[in-house]
Amino acid sequence: MKQYYVYIMTNKSRTLYTGITNNLERRVYEHKQKTIEGFTSKYNITMLVYYESTDDVRQAIAREKQIKGWLRSKKIELIESTNPGWEDLSKDWYGDSSLRSE
């Protein structure tokens, strides 16, 4: 069954980006490599700090919209509920050390 992921990424300044994908590992790699121009490449958003998954694409889209509508403080609460140290959850996903967050 296909999985869909709602995720939050950040940078050293803790600028937040919320997105949705059906391939989290590929999408995080694209953010880290800055292969797609836009907000995340402009602000060096390279650290995955939160994600959740579902097999229902409509539920994933609704959840992404819900999170995007929240105040920053509520997004921070969500991140810290599972990742209080704001660790890069993808730090060991790729063998290339240049893809690991500083």
The answer to whether residue 41 is domain-embedded is yes
Report d(CA 78, CA 101) in Å as an integer. 21
The answer to whether residue 101 is domain-embedded is no
CATH code for the domain of 15: 3.40.1440.10
* Phi/psi at 19 (5° precision): -145, 180
The answer to whether residue 100 is domain-embedded is no
CA separation, residue 94 to residues 30, 32, 65, 88 (Å):
12, 11, 29, 12
pTM above 0.85, yes or no: yes
Q: Within a 10 A sphere around the Cβ of 81, how many other Cβ atoms?
A: 9
Task: Tell me the pLDDT tens digit for each residue of 46-89.
Answer: 999 999 999 999 999 999 999 999 999 999 999 999 999 999 99
- Residue 1: what pLDDT? 86
The answer to whether residue 80 is domain-embedded is yes
- Residue 95: what pLDDT? 76
Residues contacting residue 27 through CB under 8 Å, at least 6 positions apart: 5, 7, 19, 21
Mean pLDDT of the chain: 93
- Residue 102: what pLDDT? 46
Number of domains into which the chain is organized: 1
Task: Tell me the pLDDT tens digit for each residue of 7-46.
Answer: 999 999 999 999 999 999 999 999 999 999 999 999 999 9
The answer to whether residue 11 is domain-embedded is yes
Report d(CA 67, CA 19) in Å as an integer. 10
The answer to whether residue 96 is domain-embedded is no
Q: Which domain holds residue 31?
A: 4-90
The answer to whether residue 102 is domain-embedded is no
The answer to whether residue 37 is domain-embedded is yes
